[in-house]
Structure 1
Amino acid sequence: MIEALRTPDERFAAVPDFDFPVRYVDDLPGYEGLRGAYVDAGPAETQRTFLCLHGEPSWSFLYRKMIPVFLKAGARVVAPDLFGFGRSDKPVREADYSFAWHRAYLLALVERLDLRRITLVVQDWGGLLGLTLPVDPGFAARLERLIVMNTALAVGVSPGPGFEAWKTYALSTHDLPVGDIIARGTPQITPAEKAAYDAPYPDATYKAGARVFPALVPVTPEMDGAAVSREAMGFWSGRWTGKSFMAIGDADPVLGPPAMQALRKVIRGCPEPMIIAGGGHFVQEWGEPIARAALESFNAA
């Protein structure tokens, strides 16, 4: 039994510009008793779904500027909060977090919701996990398009000293200042938006996931997630035939243009990226023009 904390609902009462329907699931096989939260907006009967996967230490709130654009296009939007983040339950032991455990949860949620004609929208850990999902044939059959931002496939190689410093800092900082971390690269966010990034964490005991996620990135070939990430490279380079769109925040010191151009070479048919000048790692904070440009690109292709 995994011991977990649940953030009180009142912590989210003042979250701005995020009035989308939130649903919960607590009976997925292997996750019984753990409540996962996800935004589920737009017509459920539509055949096209934007599956928006956040990273670390953010939550689905990061997509608030993109979701309205997708909804206006007539689509359904599903934006889960990973366990340890957002409105989802937060295991208190760092040892309970793993690449495979989170990846399997996303696959199980997609299966439960029976999502079809998926546009996969990913950034940071949303990409580390999400880009591996098509290795599963069931998910690949549901996948139609890709929007990819400031992320990577973690095939067992360290992203470099900047990432290693971040990993060391996160692991050694018990009360990780989540709002400050996100605001550092997104100077345009308001105090209320910064507070929304802190909302999931009443105190440091809720932050095990935020602390440990950097250490879960597969930086050596034998780490959990590295093998499936290598399989995913084969999917994106050889079997992928859908439409892709890439946006890059060029001020990201770790997953900026060099890392993203390397990823672009892996994604078969990926066009030239949209460069967000001055855009930081959490590039969804520039999300409205990105979402509009992605839809225009898909419609023009």
Structure 2
Amino acid sequence: MTDALRTPDDRFANLPDFPWAPRYIDDLPGYEGLRCAVIDEGGGPGAPADPPTFLCLHGEPTWSYLYRRMIPVFLASGARVVAPDLFGFGRSDKPVDDAVYGFHFHRRMLLALVARLNLRNITLVVQDWGGIIGLTLPVDAGFRGRLARLIAMNTTLATGTPPSEGFLAWRAYAKANPDLAVGALIGRGTPHLTEAERAAYDAPFPDIRYKAGVRAFPERVMTDPGMEGIEESLAAKAFWARDFRGPVFMAVGGADMVLGPPVMEDLRRSLPTCPEPMLIPEAGHFVQEWGGPVAEAALRSFADVRPA
């Protein structure tokens, strides 16, 4: 059994603008004994028989709270919204060994969760590590048949190419700060956050023991040949470029020095159906914090797509 910590529930009391209660799942195959927290809303009585399902995947060092500005827009459209917390983040259990946090550990978890919830008609919504992992999910044939649309924000497919100076600086900073002040970090690039919102990003991590995932993820980005996940990422790049013809929407935080406009333009070249991205010049890396207008623009874009 994986040795893990569970953040006390009282750390998540009175979260601003986040009224949704988590659904806890502790029987994912291969993850027995670990409890995963998932926001699973909408798609109930009165919804279409096969409603769009927005699968919202967070990255480093955030959790599903990051999607609180987008979730209401998706729900108002009649859709189902599923926003899991990756192990090591949010209200999910947090393995204490940094070495646990490999690419496949999280990718297999997401595939198991999608199968467990039998998600269909999926709009994949990704940012940061949510995309580094999530964009590779369609390599699995079982997921591919469930996929309908994509919303991509400040992310990449990591295929072992040399990293940017901005990423190297971030990796070095994270390594030098093993007890990373998460709320303060997010607040620096998102100046409109309130003190209570910054505290919500700190909530999952009572102390340094809970931050193995926060420490591990910057080191796991596939920047060198042979790293875990490169094979799946290369296959995913080919899938998006050659096989996927569904609707795509891209939003870009222009002030992001790590996964900003140049990186997103490179990703766009692998997405033939992606129109001109929505650029938010003042938005930093955590572009979901400008997420209400992003979600609204994505829905309008999808509504304008004519059936093939």
| TM-score bracket for this pair, using the shorter chain length | over 0.9
Instruction: Give the superposition deviation at 1:108.
Output: 0.3
CA distance in 2, matches of 1:12, 1:262: 38
1:192-243 per-position Cα deviation (integer Å, ceiling 9, x unaligned): 0000000000111000100110100011120001110000000000000110
Equivalent position of 2:173 in the other structure: 169
CA distance in 1, matches of 2:21, 2:84: 12
Indicate the SS of the match to 1:158.
Answer: coil
The unaligned stretches of length 5 or more in structure 2 are none
1:104-137 per-position Cα deviation (integer Å, ceiling 9, x unaligned): 0000000000000000000000000000000001
Instruction: Give the superposition deviation at 1:141.
Output: 0.3
CA distance in 2, matches of 1:186, 1:195: 13
Q: Is the 8 A contact 2:51 2:78 kept in 1?
A: no
Instruction: Give the superposition deviation at 1:99.
Output: 0.3
Q: Is the 8 A contact 2:237 2:270 kept in 1?
A: yes
Confirm or deny that 1:75 pairs with 2:79. Answer: yes
Equivalent position of 2:212 in the other structure: 208
Q: Is the 8 A contact 1:159 1:254 kept in 2?
A: no
Confirm or deny that 1:127 pairs with 2:93. Answer: no
Confirm or deny that 1:6 pairs with 2:6. Answer: yes
Instruction: Give the superposition deviation at 1:277.
Output: 1.7
Q: Is the 8 A contact 2:18 2:68 kept in 1?
A: yes
Confirm or deny that 1:144 pairs with 2:148. Answer: yes
Q: Is the 8 A contact 2:166 2:258 kept in 1?
A: yes
Q: Is the 8 A contact 1:21 1:41 kept in 2?
A: no
1:49-86 per-position Cα deviation (integer Å, ceiling 9, x unaligned): 00000000000000000000000000000000000000
CA distance in 2, matches of 1:151, 1:276: 15
Indicate the SS of the match to 2:269.
Answer: helix
Equivalent position of 1:218 in the other structure: 222
Instruction: Give the superposition deviation at 1:174.
Output: 2.3
Confirm or deny that 1:100 pairs with 2:100. Answer: no
Choose the corresponding residue for 1:181, options 180, 185, 188.
185
**2:171 partner amino acid:** K
Confirm or deny that 1:262 pairs with 2:266. Answer: yes
**1:208 partner amino acid:** A
Equivalent position of 1:230 in the other structure: 234
How many residue pairs get aligned? The number is 301
Which piece of structure 1 moves more, 198-207 or 155-164?
155-164
CA distance in 1, matches of 2:138, 2:20: 27
CA distance in 1, matches of 2:279, 2:140: 31
Q: Is the 8 A contact 1:221 1:227 kept in 2?
A: no
4+ residue runs over 6 A deviation: none
Instruction: Give the superposition deviation at 1:171.
Output: 2.3
Equivalent position of 1:110 in the other structure: 114
Equivalent position of 1:299 in the other structure: 303
Equivalent position of 1:248 in the other structure: 252
Q: Report the TM-score when normalising by structure 2.
A: 0.96
CA distance in 1, matches of 2:254, 2:279: 6
Equivalent position of 2:38 in the other structure: 38
CA distance in 1, matches of 2:249, 2:113: 24
Instruction: Give the superposition deviation at 1:43.
Output: 2.0
CA distance in 1, matches of 2:191, 2:50: 37
Instruction: Give the superposition deviation at 1:20.
Output: 1.2
Q: Is the 8 A contact 1:250 1:280 kept in 2?
A: yes
Which piece of structure 1 moves more, 158-167 or 221-230?
158-167
**1:283 partner amino acid:** V
Instruction: Give the superposition deviation at 1:46.
Output: 4.4
The unaligned stretches of length 5 or more in structure 1 are none
Q: Is the 8 A contact 1:69 1:288 kept in 2?
A: yes
Indicate the SS of the match to 2:27.
Answer: coil
Q: Is the 8 A contact 1:53 1:121 kept in 2?
A: yes
Q: Is the 8 A contact 1:39 1:77 kept in 2?
A: yes
CA distance in 1, matches of 2:178, 2:130: 23
CA distance in 2, matches of 1:126, 1:28: 19
Indicate the SS of the match to 1:266.
Answer: coil
Q: CA RMSD in A?
A: 0.9
Equivalent position of 1:29 in the other structure: 29
**1:114 partner amino acid:** N
